Structure 1
Amino acid sequence: MEKILIVEDNKTLAKLISKKISETLNFEIDIAYTLHEAKLFLRMHEYFVTLLDINLPDAPNGEVVDYVLAHDNHAIVLTGNIDKDFRKKMLQKNIIDYVNKSGVNDVNYIIGVIKRLQKNKEHKVLVVDDSMVIRKQIKAMLENLFYKVITVAHGEEALGMLQAHLDISLVITDYNMPVINGLELTKEIRKEHSKENLPIIALSSNSDDEVTALFLKSGANDYIQKPFSKEEFSCRINNTVEAQENINLITNHANRDFLTGLYNRRYFFKTMESYIEEASQSNESYAVAMIDIDHFKAVNDTYGHDTGDKVIIHLSEILISSVTHRDIVSRFGGEEFCIVLKNINKYNAIDIFDRLRKKVETTDVLSDKGEEIRFTISAGVVMSGDDDLEETINQADMMLYKAKQDGRNLVLIDD
């Protein structure tokens, strides 16, 4: 388990912060009341982040911050000092944030910052700027916020990186660059990626309002004027990434089955429309299978609906682990599933579905009372043809019905 170090000479406040973090987040908490104690902890352990008071009995002028940063630790400053010059001096250091201690709301704010830092570890940011100094500066700020960072010098390199790294979450681009400038890069990216799927933040020292408007009209999600403060930069980056996460969450709720996390029927038909067109143009064959749990009503009647849900979840995990990332696995409802295997011939498709059937047959699910439940599935398979999707699904359903009639625990394909 990751750890957080709190350095705070006010024992009551330190214990309050520790208690609130422990109740909300999955971290182990160490507390040091002096710089000397903090040094001992830092020699023994690695910390996700340190929360630092800057007025300690043996370090009254923020010496703890310099010590922590010198040993490559991430720091959030906690202080009652409201002096603007001192605050500015502290923010020039490579700290994550500067938080005034004034009440419980500040503790809640710190918890929110830590949650954000945890999520940032999942995101990769592409920085595009022709100035090596600026690239290094932005990279350092982003890495201090736990982002993974890739840097390039101009738009042409950026487009290559986007093709090589499909998991990039955010693009930060300068305006004036050689080869392809930031505005042209934004337009090129928007040909392939929507604002919701890949946010873009533009940077520029140009104070012309028209430039700002051009970027926003061309698809940029935000615009930051150079020079910018560290706080403004961090807030805008985090807000943009958080907005993208919220959009993805809403989209997933709309496209995913609530119980299994598989794609739902609505998403299946939506995504298959575009795939069928692509497959037709490239002459790519695919297999569509309707799959059903045999005697599922008996499972519900015997063991209860909670156990029935466990069986459905267990099957969904087998289905998703038995196909490639290109294939489509969806739950149509109840115990009924539909799978599309892309770019495959008849014989390989039958082999995959039969191996899947045998895998289901040889595994079990535990009921709430610890009873081992074995179950089987039947499947009807149709290879891609000239019929539309609805007709293909109907044919697969007919083959599934025939498999049930022929004794269940079967895979049948329409010749």
Structure 2
Amino acid sequence: MSKKLLVVEDSKPIASIIEAIARSLNFEVTRASSLQAVKNIIDESNDFFAATVDYALPDAPDGEAIPYVLSKGIPSIVLTGMMDDDTRQKILNQPVIDYIPKENSQAFLYLKRILEYQLTNSMYGILVVEDSLSARNHVVELLKRRNFTIYTATQGDEALGVLAKNPDIKLVITDLEMPVMDGITLSNEIRKKYAREQLAIIGISGAVNGIHSARFIKNGADDFLRKPFCPEEFYCRITQNIDNLNNIEKIQHAANTDYLTELPNRRYFFTQAEPSVKNHIENQTTYCVAILDIDFFKKVNDIHGHDAGDHILKVFALYLRKHLGNGLLSRLGGEEFGVLLSGANKKELYSKLDQFRERVATSKVSYADKEINYSVSIGVVFNSKKTLTQQMIEADAALYFAKENGRNRIAVADKIS
């Protein structure tokens, strides 16, 4: 369901730009050009997710609309054409999401980013570790304005427990001076369990000694803020660290994912399958490693074209997800795919692979104005105690046997002659 945004702006061109930005983010937009119009709208319905509020309106020239909208519990972003320090401080003294000077087109790009963040920030857990109640509440209040999911702890050892129970935590903000375990020790302990690409740490301290920032960074923190800090800088540091985590995640996804089918690639398959195989062997779990290869795939490309071939690969990947998605899947390369499955017994796993083979063989893939039939051959190894590399070699030999003996069939490694 679309979230509602209240756009309070007396300039029609600017209001139209804001509305276009909001609608691109799937907001349902209501516009108001005066404080009185705002009051009428809110009296009728107040279910707004957020608001953008112009500082100066015809009937509210000195920012009077801001406290009114905030008093109705609507998180607000203030847009202003006034850049003096008094106006800035007046705005920041109120619990606004942010303020944006209407200087140039960059202001609207920044507004779009802030609105996007308000929609997505709830996915990110932030742990605030601070023994001072007033300092902790101040940081929590700032984070609430930006719609983050917030956790708190009063000292380092408690923070480690909160972290262990809440995997959605992506950022820890920790004070330096705390009893039992200080912030620098906590940063060090966190890094023993969580890599930088998993979790960011921001150290904070009111101490005058400038060495604390370096000590935090050297002990695993990603950033540092000195108290008292400016809310604008605080938000910039939070956003920067969250963006860094997202960028790392995108890079990792690209490195581990096949670009065409969106399945894990060969590298990721081996990285994940190796420890899984060891675990299955240790726990005596029934499992299998299989290699699947689309039959006569070169002929599909030759007859129907490479675009059709790509379409077949995408459809095949969808079939894998649908029917074998409880296992580890991969596009190993070309028309070859890898699967690691576990189950109750060998018969169940064989049946699952064979049913998949039958579904592929009886399906028709529509492409352009044609119906394309294709099949798949499978080589499989069951419950081997050998290394993953050795099992893949054996599964590949079984696949070759299936191809040489008619295709569209399964060959089990220990049964081929």
TM over 0.5, yes or no? yes
Q: Which residue of structure 1 lines up, in the alignment, with residue 268 of structure 2?
A: 267
Q: Which residue of structure 2 lines up, in the alignment, with residue 115 of structure 1?
A: 116
Q: Which residue of structure 1 lines up, in the alignment, with residue 384 of structure 2?
A: 385
Kept after mapping to 2: 8 A contact 1:287/1:344: no
Kept after mapping to 1: 8 A contact 2:281/2:385: no
Kept after mapping to 2: 8 A contact 1:285/1:345: yes
When structure 1 is superposed on structure 2, of 213-222 and 268-277 the one drifting more is 268-277
Aligned partner of residue 251 in structure 1, secondary structure: helix
Q: Flag the 1:138–1:315 CA change in 2: closer, same or farther, 3 A.
A: farther
| Residues 199-257 of structure 1, C-alpha deviations (whole Å, 9 max, x = no match) | 11122222323332222111111112222221111110000010111111112111111
Kept after mapping to 1: 8 A contact 2:6/2:31: yes
Is structure 2 residue 44 aligned with structure 1 residue 54? no
Q: Which residue of structure 1 lines up, in the alignment, with residue 346 of structure 2?
A: 346
Kept after mapping to 1: 8 A contact 2:292/2:379: yes
| Residues 52-82 of structure 1, C-alpha deviations (whole Å, 9 max, x = no match) | 1121112222222112212222211001122
Give the Cα separation in 1 of the matches to 2:57 and 2:102.
14
Aligned partner of residue 123 in structure 2, secondary structure: coil
Give the Cα separation in 2 of the matches to 1:60 and 1:172.
38
Q: Flag the 1:182–1:351 CA change in 2: closer, same or farther, 3 A.
A: farther
| Residues 143-173 of structure 1, C-alpha deviations (whole Å, 9 max, x = no match) | 3212222223333333233332223222222
Q: Flag the 1:122–1:376 CA change in 2: closer, same or farther, 3 A.
A: farther
Q: Matches of residues 241-252 of structure 1 in structure 2 within 5 Å?
A: 241-252=242-253
Is structure 2 residue 102 aligned with structure 1 residue 101? yes
Q: How far did 1:384 drift?
A: 4.7
Runs (5+) with no aligned partner, structure 2: none
User: % of aligned pairs identical?
Assistant: 38
Q: Flag the 1:186–1:329 CA change in 2: closer, same or farther, 3 A.
A: same
Q: Matches of residues 9-408 of structure 1 in structure 2 within 5 Å?
A: 9-19=10-20, 22=23, 25-42=25-42, 43-44=44-45, 46-276=47-277, 286-323=287-324, 327-341=327-341, 345-361=345-361, 364-369=364-369, 371-408=370-407
Q: Flag the 1:224–1:348 CA change in 2: closer, same or farther, 3 A.
A: farther
Kept after mapping to 1: 8 A contact 2:123/2:168: no
Q: Flag the 1:3–1:275 CA change in 2: closer, same or farther, 3 A.
A: same
> What is the letter of the counterpart of residue 115 of structure 2?
I
Give the Cα separation in 2 of the matches to 1:45 and 1:295.
62
Q: How far did 1:284 drift?
A: 5.5
Q: How far did 1:373 drift?
A: 4.3
> What is the letter of the counterpart of residue 399 of structure 1?
A
> What is the letter of the counterpart of residue 210 of structure 1?
I
Give the Cα separation in 2 of the matches to 1:360 and 1:159.
49
Kept after mapping to 2: 8 A contact 1:350/1:413: no
Give the Cα separation in 1 of the matches to 2:151 and 2:300.
51
Kept after mapping to 1: 8 A contact 2:143/2:150: yes
| RMSD value, Cα | 2.7
Give the Cα separation in 1 of the matches to 2:50 and 2:274.
47
Give the Cα separation in 2 of the matches to 1:344 and 1:207.
63
Aligned partner of residue 263 in structure 1, secondary structure: coil
Runs (5+) with no aligned partner, structure 1: none
Kept after mapping to 1: 8 A contact 2:273/2:340: no
Give the Cα separation in 2 of the matches to 1:19 and 1:367.
36
| Residues 127-158 of structure 1, C-alpha deviations (whole Å, 9 max, x = no match) | 22233443333233223212222223333333
> What is the letter of the counterpart of residue 380 of structure 1?
G
Q: Flag the 1:292–1:7 CA change in 2: closer, same or farther, 3 A.
A: same
When structure 1 is superposed on structure 2, of 101-110 and 291-300 the one drifting more is 291-300
Give the Cα separation in 2 of the matches to 1:316 and 1:238.
36
Q: How far did 1:361 drift?
A: 4.7
Kept after mapping to 1: 8 A contact 2:53/2:65: yes
Q: Flag the 1:278–1:205 CA change in 2: closer, same or farther, 3 A.
A: farther
Q: Flag the 1:40–1:383 CA change in 2: closer, same or farther, 3 A.
A: farther
| Residues 283-307 of structure 1, C-alpha deviations (whole Å, 9 max, x = no match) | 6664211012233334434443333
Q: Given the two structures, how large is their TM-score scaled by the length of structure 1?
A: 0.88
Q: Flag the 1:287–1:166 CA change in 2: closer, same or farther, 3 A.
A: farther
Q: How far did 1:396 drift?
A: 0.7
Q: Flag the 1:197–1:336 CA change in 2: closer, same or farther, 3 A.
A: same
Give the Cα separation in 1 of the matches to 2:176 and 2:54.
39
User: How many residues are paired up?
Assistant: 412
Aligned partner of residue 198 in structure 2, secondary structure: coil
